[in-house]
Amino acid sequence: MSRPRRPNKRRSADTEPMGAGATQRERHQGTRQQGAPTRGPDSELRIIGGRLRGSHVAYSGDPRTRPMKERVREAVFNLLGPAVRDSYVLDLFAGTGAMALEAISRGAAAAVAFEQHFPSVRLIEENVSQLGASDFVEAVAGDAFFWVPRRLPTRDRRWTVFCCPPYDFYVERPADLLGLLETLVRAAPPASRFVVESDARFDFAQLAPLGEWRVHDYPPARVGILVIAGDTAEGPIARA
């Protein structure tokens, strides 16, 4: 198995044409809640498992980059188990980068964190640097809907894909979300894992054409996990 290409620290979508006549600024407007970032007593997260266990991950407190709750993240990684090891991680709506960093802590080979909110991209870079993970995590500043299909990783190792968008996207951009997931599922190598987080407004039956999703409720969150056919004995998904 070839080693993954060492990721660059950061790429900005501003460096390449966006297409369809839309500017980068236009693609960023109106996609998350408005509100100025504020840091408070709950503005730090922590890595839960692996070699970086206990390390702090800074969070600005900005509601536009709502992170997955720690208890949910812990449950998700318990369900994924050893399948994360040596996988290539795509964190589609990265926010703080906590999902990508948790995966790296647990032995993932490399990760790309996509985030369109530029202040949050800087925060991801700070978190990656503070945790000594710059050789493993690349932050991409840009719209995941545009950039992910153009930045698909190689298929020489399984993928772990985290899709944890703002919950309003399930109401405002359902076709875009379903299209993005379909593109990734169709391209993913065997034994890849997909983790999709939503709230109660989303019906996971809409994803049934892509495969068999195991759905777990952690109110207010719902998490669906899909395993691409061709699994190995090393990393079967845990059954809750």
User: How far is the C-alpha of 229 from the C-alpha of 236, rounded, in Å?
Assistant: 11
Residue 23 confidence (pLDDT): 35
Tens digits of per-residue pLDDT, 64-108?
A: 777 899 999 999 999 999 999 999 999 999 999 999 999 999 999
pLDDT score for 5: 45
The pLDDT of residue 3 is 45
In a domain? residue 4: no
Structural domain including 208 reads 39-227
Share of the chain above pLDDT 70, in %: 78
Confidence (pLDDT) at 195 = 99
pLDDT score of 237: 40
Closest CA to 59 of 74, 46, 45: 45
Whichever domain contains 87, its CATH number is 3.40.50.150
Residue spans of the chain under pLDDT 70: 1-43, 231-240
- The count of structural domains within the chain is 1
Structural domain includes residue 167: yes
For residue 231, the model assigns a pLDDT of 53
In a domain, 79, yes or no: yes
**Is there a domain that residue 32 lies in?**
no
Residue 215 covered by a domain: yes
- Looking at the domain assignment, is residue 93 inside a domain? yes
The CA-based dihedral angle spanning residues 67, 190, 231, 215, taken in that order and rounded to the nearest 10 degrees? 40
Map 113-171 to HEC letters: EEECCHHHHHHHHHHHHHCCCCCCEEEEECCHHHHHHHCCCCCCCCEEEEECCCCCHHH
